Every structure is written in C-alpha cells, then in structure tokens.
Amino acid sequence: MDESGRRRFRQRTNRVAGQVAGIQRMIDEDRYCLDILNQIAAARSALDALGVELLSQHLESCVLQVGDSAHEQAKHLSPEELLLEVRTALTRFLR
C-alpha cells in the first residue's frame, strides 16, 4: 500500500477511534440509551466501510497483484492460497 493509502486508512481509523471515545463519554455522562445506540450504529457502519475499502485494496494489490503494490506476504502465496485467505476474511467480516 502506498503512503497516500496508508494516510487515508489512518484518517478513517482515527475517525472511528473518535466515535468510540465519544460513545464512552456518552455512557459516562449517562446519555439517553437510543442516542448511544445510534452512535454505536454509526461506528459500526464506519468500520464496515473501512473493511470494504481495505478488502478492495487487498484484492487489487495482493490477489490480482496490480502494479508492484503486492505485499511481501502475498507475493509468496499461490492463487489458491490467496483465494482461501479472501474466503476466510469474508467469513470473519460478514459475521
């Protein structure tokens, strides 16, 4: 992954971390339960979007090996091993 991709993912994870910290503050402040649940839903949605973006990046760079961006770990795997990794990741991600 190039530096701009890492920066983009870092920004998104920082945003999610801020949302989770906000949820903790809401709990500490004894905020209304539905307001907290709405924030939890927003954080989950943000994590899901991050996961989809990261999976797309992985498919492009590591599985399809577009350009020279494949991660060192992926370069040594067979197509079958890469497919198994993707299946495992999707299974975990979709739970």
Instruction: State the CATH number of the domain containing residue 65.
Output: 1.20.58.1000
Residue 42 contacts residue 15 (beta carbons within 8 Å)? no
- Domain count for the chain: 1
Please determine, for residue 67, whether its predicted confidence score (pLDDT) is greater than 70: no
More confident residue, 53 or 77: 53
pLDDT given at position 24: 98
Please determine, for residue 8, whether its predicted confidence score (pLDDT) is greater than 80: yes
Domain that holds residue 89: 3-93
What is the per-residue pLDDT across 11-59, written as a single tens digit (0 to 9) for each? 999 999 999 999 999 999 999 999 999 999 999 999 999 999 999 988 8
Backbone dihedral angles phi then psi of residue 76, each to the nearest 5 degrees = -100, 5
Cα separation, 37 vs 19, whole angstroms: 12
Q: What angle do helix axes 33-58 and 79-93 make, rounded to 10 degrees?
A: 170
pLDDT given at position 66: 62
